[in-house]
Amino acid sequence: MKITWLGHSGFRIEIGDQILLVDPWMTGNPMFPAARRAEAVSGATHILITHGHGDHTGDTLELARELGVPVVGIYDLMNWWAETEGVKTVGFNKGGTVTLGDVRVTMVHAVHSSSISGQKEPIYTGSEAGFMIAHQGRTIYVTGDTDVMADMKVFNDLHTPEIGILCAGGHFTMDMRRAAYAAKTFFDFKTVIPCHYRTFPLLEQSAAVLKDSLPGVDVIEPQVLDPIIL
């Protein structure tokens, strides 16, 4: 399994026979080196979208057309894109599971908001979500943008994820302290990878609080396009 950070909340996840691009925002992302775009997206099989905000959907439609791959996410947004943008989509909803090759992806709840900017007002794009990505007994929990939720106990009971990709930058999502609380209260992670931080000065710049709060857990501060092998 190989997990590569694309900056902010974007990831390239190589798992089983799949190469999944999660929330690929590269154009305009101050953390992403534009010259390495081809490397980041090469061989992708699907694009997973947690919610409609531009810092998560940014390059999705362009990549879907360029690579000829389906976009996977909440039914409302997927149906709209299929009808208005002509891209291939796989729409499902919370509690549902889709099979992508030999990988199973279950959509789980998140607490945030989901919209795309319209000409005069926001266009709401269904509900925000997270994903459990599973292959051969190993599961990654991608939180999407969220705060701490008691639902997370249910997620652990049902999916027992060993890897947590946790939003932790604060202001728009839970911060490092709250992400640490979620991890130690509800999960038994072996590995935690923070995201949605360092992108802008408004967000947290260090994962030190997360690391200090989770002794015995491998908290990896990712570097853009530096693969993490697990």
The confidence band for 122, taking pLDDT boundaries of 50, 70 and 90, is confident
Percent of the chain topping pLDDT 70: 100
Q: What is the pTM of this model?
A: 0.97
CATH number, domain at 143? 3.60.15.10
Report the C-alpha gap between 104 and 102 in whole angstroms: 7
β partners of residue 129: 109
Question: Does 84 reside within a domain?
Answer: yes
pLDDT (0 to 100) of residue 166: 98
Q: Tens digits of per-residue pLDDT, 62-114?
A: 999 999 999 999 999 999 999 999 999 999 999 999 999 999 999 999 999 99
What is the rounded average pLDDT for all residues in the chain? Answer: 96
Question: Does 204 reside within a domain?
Answer: yes
**Domain count for the chain:** 1
Question: Does 201 reside within a domain?
Answer: yes
pLDDT (0 to 100) of residue 125: 85
Question: Does 225 reside within a domain?
Answer: no
pLDDT (0 to 100) of residue 207: 97
Closest CA to 19 of 72, 86, 87: 72
Q: Tens digits of per-residue pLDDT, 162-197?
A: 999 999 999 999 999 999 999 999 999 999 999 999
pLDDT, average across residues 122-143: 95
Question: Does 129 reside within a domain?
Answer: yes
Question: Does 230 reside within a domain?
Answer: no
Question: Does 18 reside within a domain?
Answer: yes
User: In which domain, by residue range, is 172 found?
Assistant: 2-219
The confidence band for 6, taking pLDDT boundaries of 50, 70 and 90, is very high
Find how far residue 59's CA is from the centre of its chain.
14
Question: Does 77 reside within a domain?
Answer: yes
Please name the amino acid found at residue 63: L
